[in-house]
């Protein structure tokens, strides 16, 4: 399979003045007669390489446009943007044809919005004055801001809990789209778990990501409604060597050993589903696991630095393994410290989650930090919204999480309160709709 | 009073490459023996003028540092940054001296963090290894990102509901720090209302704003705890002529007629409290009113464009008054349309809130959009976190809001669910603490 999206290098404006984007929703409307689409902007090839850029400023230019169409959906190997709005949807009592119509409507709107366009033809401020606008308008002056919109299908789309095959697709459910097992100490809240469909909107501007979810939700009115949703900021994993490693709310670098989009061999082998895996319609797709992980940060903040570093298995400053070196030095799990015990504790997060300890299993993580106000005791309702992509959760997320749930010393400071698993189909061909192969 | 902070023009890096900030927390730690403070960076005078910049990119450079010390607190006339974390605190059962100590600790930490430094001397990754770090670390690699931290005192700091003078300051409560009256249709939630103290942290990076509130909350442990808090994005008002007008979640430009920091005469007359106002310790301060305004955006989105524009009194695209012109044209409330009725409806938001209709009363608004997940019906829990600064709420916010609450056709689409009023004292002198004049 050719792959012009991996690594997905953003389109940069040629104008050197960072305050003047080259493309905005408003600008698009001024281009009378010119089609709205990826054709408007060039797509660069190649990768920026390992430029040392600040975590704060490694996000792309506001006018970055990632192509919506392609062999894979964008938002997976795309260098992680800074902001997230994720939504899980319940599909109402509609027919198979109506579901296809919804996916088609979503596809058209997503293709428009990812270029910096409005969700609908008329936009928020023109068209019939006696009808509601077909775009809500809050992103009218904003450029694309690296927006990607990624769609996924949950297990319940294939059959309900009662086994009803609502859309005639039960036989096509991929074996890899399992119901996630109960993990030790799971504290899942039903209202923040599951869902028939999901949409991950990522952008460097939160208003652009929110605008995307809001308009897709508006378009779904009467057909699907939001079951749960999550805003996030400060991505917790770099997915490209052009990005520095960001920090999670434990204050540690997160994602040092993450799969990077430049490692195309690893991505092909461990992230993209393959026709040979059993569900041919998922070829070029991936499986998304989301976990809402609440951190008890007030307790963490009263833990000694030495204890924090032993829990993580890395230093807090540079982020190198406790066995020494620099951030990207491979951890030496055999190195002994005092008492002849491994200097990287065997129950540390880095030891338990390392591929060497998990039969080589890796994940492409793409999570975000969140703070959703505070609880009754004045503690911040904060944590990590974990998102990981993989070829098969049965051999990747599930065994890794089983080990972590049973052994990780970090468990004292985290609580998994939300969860979802979704089959993310391959990219969309122009004129078609997302997931068309499932209904073919 | 001299005023080197208004208009507050940010310090810009001289390096033209936007991806390389000139100052970061890490960088600061590398400057052994060099004091951490505003002296590290120059402060430019003058204003950028009316450059046409995109709303998406009008925020300042990541390395922007606003001075913490000065005649006024930063975060009022400072050009509104893109992100907000606001927190209201309840003070525990502590003494007057302990309250002063808390304010002193907060002042020291805020002064450090606004320069891009850590909250404490040792930072997150050094110091005694067997003690908790004195900074939580998630902003370790991030530059100052235009962070401002603004402190305020609520009515309940002066006396509790039972009239107890906890801190010996009851006699010094400013007359302008009234308890807000009940406004028609108020739907206030007690848990999102009031508070003894408030902190407004604004930055162009949400992780930097969150880091500030989190560390100030950590420092307050055992003395004060968060009562309610709010994250926001996509500022809803421009406070400087160097900024374009952003859009709220109704999709309309918000803040076209806002007080701008460049209008120093208006700011002096209507925003800064004066010794002659009655409470001499508040001279150079201001009064902050916060309102959490939930928007029923799904209902709004199904309203005809014509109706939306009649409710606002402006067009949705350009934002000019319905009486014509461009965005900054003064509305003509006398102009008649069909049926000989005013073309700008008398019950529109712009008509009711215009200074001409409110005895010249103005506000310096500094609000943010918010989306806090969704409710049980799948509707986004979204709206506007309104923040306004003023010299005297009795003649500014209160009469304006009374008229709006009684007459505004927008009320069908908004619900005020949270509220707070705080006396924001003048700026801090080096070596002193915020609000020192109150306790002198």
Q: What is the mean pLDDT of each run of 10 residues along chain A (440 residues)?
A: 38 34 36 29 27 35 90 97 97 98 98 97 91 96 96 96 94 97 96 97 97 98 97 91 93 93 95 95 98 96 96 96 96 92 95 90 96 93 98 97 94 97 98 97
* Closest partner CB to A247 (pick from B137, B218, B316): B137
How many structural domains comprise chain B? 1
Q: Which residue of B has its CA nearest to A23?
A: B54
Tell me, yes or no, whether A3 lies in a domain.
no
Give me the pLDDT at residue B159, please.
93
HEC string of A358-371 equals CCCCCCEECCEEEE
Query: Do A244 and A52 meet the contact criterion of CB atoms below 8 Å apart?
Result: yes
Sorted by sequence, the CB contacts under 8 Å of residue A216 that are 6+ apart come out as A87, A106, A109, A110, A119, A149, A199, A201
Q: Do residues B383 and B293 lie in contact, with contact meaning Cβ atoms separated by under 8 Å?
A: yes
Nearest CA in chain B to A51: B19
* Rounded Cα gap, residues B6 and B26, in angstroms: 30
Interface predicted TM-score (ipTM) over 0.95: no
Provide, as residue numbers in chain A, all residues whose Cβ is less than 8 Å from the Cβ of B124.
Answer: 251, 305, 316-317
Contacts (Cβ under 8 Å, ≥6 apart) of B6 = B72, B77, B261, B264, B267
CA–CA separation, A224 vs B74, rounded Å? Answer: 45
CB distance from A299 to chain B under 8 Å?
A: no
Compute the distance between CA of residue B343 and CA of residue B223 in angstroms, rounded to an integer: 55
Q: Is residue B48 assigned to a domain?
A: no
Angle at CA of residue A239, ends A238 and A243, nearest 5°: 50
Partner-chain contact A90 B56, CB within 8 Å: no
pLDDT of residue B60: 55
In a domain, B439, yes or no: yes
In a domain, residue A181? The reply is: yes
Contact B310, B348 (CB under 8 A): yes
* Residue B133 · residue A251 · CB < 8 Å: yes
Give residue B213's pLDDT: 98
The C-alpha atoms of residue A153 and residue A102 are separated, in whole angstroms, by 13
Backbone angles phi, psi at B161, to 5 degrees: -55, -30
- Token pair, residue B353, equals 């809130």
Half-sphere exposure (CA, 13 Å, Cβ side) for A106? Answer: 29
Q: Which residues contact B393 (CB under 8 A, 6 or more apart)?
A: B176, B178, B180, B287, B289, B421
Contact B191 A376 (CB under 8 A): yes
Separation between Cα atoms, residue A234 and residue A252, nearest integer Å: 13
What spatial distance separates the first Cα and last Cα of chain B, rounded to whole Å?
Answer: 20
Out of B55, B89, B191, whose CB is closest to A141? B55
- Per-residue pLDDT averaged across B73-89, rounded? 97
Q: Which residue of chain B comes nearest to A229, CA vs CA? A: B373
Q: Which of 323-362 (A) contact B at CB < 8 A?
A: none
Establish if B371 touches chain A: CB-CB under 8 angstroms: yes
Mean pLDDT, chain B, whole residue set? 87
Question: Is A369 part of the contact surface with chain B (CB cutoff 8 Å)?
Answer: yes
Helix A206-219, helix A96-114: angle, nearest 10: 150
* Distance of alpha carbon B348 from alpha carbon B411, whole angstroms: 10
Instruction: With beta carbons less than 8 A apart as the criterion, state whether A285 and A424 touch.
Output: yes
Peptide linkage before A7 cis (omega within 30 of 0): yes
Q: Which two tokens stand for residue B10?
A: 């940010």
Q: H or E segment at A373?
A: strand A368-374
| B302: exposed, middle or buried (Cβ count in 10 Å: 0-12, 13-18, 19+) | exposed
Most A CBs within 10 A among B12, B54, B62, hence the mutation to make, goes to B54
Q: For chain B, say whether A56 makes contact (Cβ under 8 Å).
A: yes
Within a domain: residue B249?
yes
CA-based nearest distance B165→chain A, Å: 24
Which backbone phi and psi does B397 adopt, to 5 degrees? -60, -45
Q: Specify if B341 maps to a domain.
A: yes
Q: Is position B10 within any domain?
A: no
Write out chain A residues lying below 8 Å of B141, CB-based. 54-56, 244, 246-247
Instruction: Name the least confident of A34-38, B125-129, B392-396.
Output: A34-38
Do residues B119 and B240 make contact, with C-beta atoms less than 8 angstroms apart?
A: no
Beta carbons of B191 and A378 less than 8 Å apart: no
The lowest-confidence range among A251-255, B57-61, B337-341 is B57-61
B87 interaction partners in chain A (CB closer than 8 Å): 374
Please provide the size of chain B in residues: 440
Average pLDDT over residues B85-104: 98
Q: Is A347 inside any structural domain?
A: yes
Both structure tokens of A384: 């990590």
Asked whether the beta carbons of A370 and A230 are under 8 A apart, the reply is yes
Output the six-digit token pair for B421.
């009023």
pLDDT at B14 over 80: no
Q: Residue B62 — very low, low, confident or very high, per pLDDT cuts 50/70/90? A: confident
Q: Are the beta carbons of B381 and B294 closer than 8 angstroms?
A: yes
Nearest CA in chain B to A133: B305
Domain range for B333 is 17-35+58-440
Torsion of CA A27, A28, A30, A35, to 10 degrees: 160
Residue B354 is predicted with a pLDDT of 92
Whole-angstrom distance between the N-terminal and C-terminal Cα of chain A? 20
- From the list A317, A6, A389, the residue with the least C-alpha distance to B25 is A317
Q: Is A306 an interface residue toward B (CB < 8 Å)? A: yes
Token readout for A353 is 């989650």
Strand partners for A390: A287
Instruction: Give the three-state DSSP class for A69.
Output: strand
Contact A380 B229 (CB under 8 A): yes
pLDDT at B39: 29
Mean pLDDT over residues B388-398, rounded? Answer: 98
Least confident of A15-29, B94-108, B115-129, B311-325: A15-29
For residue B214, list chain A residues with Cβ-Cβ distance below 8 A.
249, 297, 301, 380, 382
Degrees to nearest 5, angle at CA A241 with A238 and A242:
90
Q: Is the dihedral of CA B248, B253, B258, B260 positive or negative?
A: positive
The DSSP code for A108 is H
Are B69 and B427 spatial neighbours (Cβ–Cβ below 8 Å)?
yes
Tell me chain A's radius of gyration from C-alpha atoms.
22
**pLDDT class for B206, splitting at 50, 70, 90?**
very high
Percent of chain B with pLDDT over 70: 86
DSSP B286-300: EEEEEEEEEE-HHHH
Report d(CA A139, CA A211) in Å as an integer: 6
φ, ψ at A414 (rounded to 5°): -130, 155
Q: What gap in Å lies between CA A385 and CA A312, rounded to an integer?
A: 18
For chain A, how many helices (H) and strands (E)?
A: 10, 9
Q: What is the helix, strand, coil percentage profile of chain A, to 5? A: 25, 20, 55
Choose among B56, B126, B372: nearest Cβ to A373: B372
């Amino acid at each position: 399979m050719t792959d012009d999206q991996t690594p997905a290098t953003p389109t940069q404006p040629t104008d050197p003045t960072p305050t003047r984007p080259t493309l905005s929703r408003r600008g698009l409307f001024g281009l009378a007669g010119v089609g709205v689409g990826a054709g408007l902007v060039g797509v660069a090839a190649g990768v920026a390489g390992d430029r040392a850029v600040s975590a704060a400023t490694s996000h792309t230019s506001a006018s970055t446009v990632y192509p919506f169409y392609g062999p894979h959906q964008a938002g997976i190997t795309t260098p992680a943007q800074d902001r997230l709005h994720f939504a899980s949807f319940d599909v109402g009592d509609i027919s198979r044809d109506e579901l296809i119509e919804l996916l088609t409507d979503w596809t058209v709107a997503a293709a428009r919005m990812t270029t910096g366009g409005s969700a609908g033809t008329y936009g928020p401020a023109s068209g019939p004055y006696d009808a509601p606008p077909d775009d809500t308008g809050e992103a009218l002056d904003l450029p694309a801001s690296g927006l990607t919109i990624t769609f996924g299908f949950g297990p319940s789309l294939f059959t309900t809990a009662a086994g009803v095959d609502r859309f005639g697709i039960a036989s096509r459910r991929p074996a890899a789209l399992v119901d996630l097992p109960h993990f030790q100490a799971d504290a899942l809240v039903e209202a923040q778990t599951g869902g028939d469909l999901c949409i991950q909107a990522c952008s460097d501007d939160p208003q652009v990501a929110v605008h995307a979810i809001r308009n897709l939700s508006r378009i779904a009115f009467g057909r699907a409604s939001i079951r749960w949703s999550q805003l996030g900021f400060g991505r917790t994993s770099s997915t490209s060597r052009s990005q520095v490693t960001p920090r999670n709310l434990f204050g540690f670098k997160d994602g040092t050993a993450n799969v990077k989009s430049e490692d195309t061999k690893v991505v092909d082998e461990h992230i993209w589903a393959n026709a040979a895996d059993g569900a041919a319609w998922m070829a070029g797709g991936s499986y998304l696991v989301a976990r809402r992980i609440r951190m008890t940060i007030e307790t963490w903040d009263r833990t000694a630095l030495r204890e924090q570093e032993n829990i993580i298995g890395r230093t807090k400053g540079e982020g190198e393994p406790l066995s020494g070196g620099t951030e990207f030095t491979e951890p030496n799990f055999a190195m002994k410290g005092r008492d002849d015990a491994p200097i990287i504790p065997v129950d540390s997060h880095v030891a338990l989650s390392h591929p060497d300890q998990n039969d080589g299993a890796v994940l492409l993580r793409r999570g975000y930090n969140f703070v959703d106000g505070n609880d009754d005791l004045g503690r911040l309702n904060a944590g990590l919204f974990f998102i990981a992509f993989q070829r098969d959760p049965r051999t990747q997320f599930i065994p890794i999480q089983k080990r972590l749930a049973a052994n990780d010393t970090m468990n004292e400071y985290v609580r998994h309160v939300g969860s979802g698993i979704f089959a993310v189909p391959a990219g969309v061909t122009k004129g078609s709709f997302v997931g068309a192969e499932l209904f073919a």
